[in-house]
Structure 1
C-alpha cells in the first residue's frame, strides 16, 4: 500500500461518524448523477470525506484551498479512486493554484464545498457560466463565511450556501479543540521550543483563539490576548488571561499566533518592538494577518529553514512559521486538526451537502444555517460511537418547556 493510502486508512479508523454516514450513502445514493466541486485542504481526513461523497454517487473534483496544505501522496491516492479527481499540489504557484480551481469548475459542479470561498468567488467573478449548473454550496471556515455574508449584503451571492462553520458542532470542537491542539503541535514540532513559561500572545478571542489560549495555558504558557471586540476582550479577562493591545503586547511576547481572520494584525509598526527571537505564526485561513511582504523587503538578511523564515532586522531576529500561512497545515510536518475532530466537521459537511442535493433548488440565494437536526444527528452518532447515553425529555418536560402558562 502506498503512503497516501496508508494515511487515508489511518484516518478512516478514527472517523466512525463518517463511516456511519457512508454506510447509509451507499444504500441511498443521494448524489447519484451529481458532480461535487471541492476546494479544501487535501490531506488524509479530507480524503475520507471525499470517499464518503463518492460512495453516495457523486463524481468529485477537488483541489486545495491553500498552496501549502496539500499532502501530495494523498492527492495522488485520491486519483486512484473511481469517480474522484484531485488537482491539488503542494507548493503550487498562484497561477497553478487558480488553474486547479478552474479545472474543478470545468466539471460544472452542482454542489460546491469550500474552505475559504475561493470556488464561489471564482464562479461569481471569472467563471459565471458555472452559475447555470450550481444548485448550492457549503462553506467550511470562518473567513469564508465572512466573505459570503459580505457578498450577501451586497446582493452579489447568486446561490444558497450552507454556513457549515457556524454550527455548534463546528465551533465547539473543530474551532476550539482542533485549532488549539493542531496549531500548538505544529509550532512545537517545527521549532522544538518549550511553550511552558513563554509569554504567548493570541490575537483574537473567537472560538479558535479561545481554544488556542486555553491549550497554551495548559502547557504552562503565560497567555496574553489581543482583541477589538469589547465583549470578547472582557470574556478573555474573565477567563483569566491578560488583555491588551497588540502595541502593548509586541515587546512582551515570545510566541505570537494570529487567529482573527482579518488582515494586518502584526505589521511594520510592531516588528521593531518585538523581542529578539520572537516567533510569529498564523492560525487564520489566509496569509494576510502577518505582514510577511514587509519583512521580505525590509530585512537586512533572511535565513530559511524548513517551515521557518528568520528575518534579521536591525540586528534582531524575527522567526515566521509557514510563510505566515495556516500554521497547523502549512509547516512541513503539519497534520491539521486531530482526526476525531474532523470526523465531526466533515460529517456536518457530508450531511449539509446531502441537504443541498435534496433542497438546494428550493432555497433562496444567500447564506443559510445548518439545519439543527443535522447538527444534532452528528452529535448523536458520535455519542453512539463512544458508547455514551444521554437522557431524553419526558412528555411532561416537553410540555413544560413549550408552555408559557406554567409558572411558579
Structure 2
C-alpha cells in the first residue's frame, strides 16, 4: 500500500531498500519506467534481486549498488547489523550468550559483524557458508565452520543472514535439539522455512512478545523470534543512527 502511494508521485529517481520499490515498478507499474532516470539500492538482498533481474534482461533502468560502497558494507553491515541483531535477540529472549553454541548462517559482512559480537559475549560461534573463500575466512577468524546439517544438531541459537530462501529448511528443523532458538536478520521472512515448521508443530503459543514456542510432534520445542522477520527491527530499534547516517549519505551522494 505504501509503495503504491509513493509511486503515485511518478518518481524520476528511486531510493530502495530490498528492491521492493523497483520490483513493484517492473511488475505492476511499468507505465512509470519511461520517466525513471535511475535509482539506488541499500541492501545486500536488494542487490541480489536486482542482479538476478539484470541477468534475465529485465532491469529497465540503471541502479547504483550503494551496498557495494566500502563506506556502507564495512560499517552498516558489519557494525550496525552485528550490534542490532544481538540487541534484538537479547530483548526477545533475555538469553545469556556466554557458552551458547551460536550458528550463523552466512558469512558476508553482516555475518562478520554478528559473529564478532556473539564471540565478544562469550558464545561458541559456528559459521555455515557455501562460498569456499568466505568459509576459509571464517576459519581464519577463529570460528568453527561446518555444514548446516551438522550444526543443526548442536546449535542453541540459529541466526540466518544469507539473503536466500529456506536457508534453514525442514531437514534442519528435524535434527535440532529441544529449546533451539531461531532468528533471522536477512531482509525477508523467508530464510527460515516457517511453513514447514508450522506443519511439524502440534501446538504453537506466544510465550514472550516476540517469541513463539512451537511444540513438535516428538515433544521438542523450537522457538521462533519475531515471526522470522528481521529481528533487529521486529524486537529492537534497528541500527544506531550514527551508522545509518553513513549509509544514507551514500544514498544521497549517489543521487
Confirm or deny a common fold (TM above 0.5).
yes
Cα displacement (A) at 1:272: 2.0
Q: Structure 2 CA distance, aligned partners of 1:310 and 1:113?
A: 37
Partner of 1:278: 180
Partner of 1:318: 222
Partner of 1:184: 86
Equivalent position SS for 1:269: helix
Q: Structure 2 CA distance, aligned partners of 1:235 and 1:282?
A: 22
1:309 and 2:234 matched: no
Q: Structure 2 CA distance, aligned partners of 1:189 and 1:302?
A: 21
* Structure exhibiting the larger radius of gyration computed from Cα positions: 1
Show the 5 A alignment for 1:1-400. Answer: 99-304=1-206, 305-313=208-216, 314-331=218-235, 334-353=236-255
Q: Structure 1 CA distance, aligned partners of 2:131 and 2:240?
A: 29
CA deviation profile, 1:7-35 (whole Å, cap 9, x unmatched):
xxxxxxxxxxxxxxxxxxxxxxxxxxxxx
CA deviation profile, 1:98-156 (whole Å, cap 9, x unmatched):
x2211111110111111110111111111111112211111000011011111112221
CA deviation profile, 1:303-332 (whole Å, cap 9, x unmatched):
11311111001211100111111110012x
Q: Structure 1 CA distance, aligned partners of 2:72 and 2:126?
A: 25
Q: Structure 1 CA distance, aligned partners of 2:210 and 2:251?
A: 30
RMSD: 0.9
Q: Structure 1 CA distance, aligned partners of 2:18 and 2:89?
A: 22
Aligned length: 253
Cα displacement (A) at 1:297: 2.5
Q: Structure 1 CA distance, aligned partners of 2:145 and 2:231?
A: 23
Equivalent position SS for 1:156: coil
Q: Structure 2 CA distance, aligned partners of 1:105 and 1:295?
A: 36
Equivalent position SS for 1:287: coil
Q: Structure 1 CA distance, aligned partners of 2:76 and 2:197?
A: 32
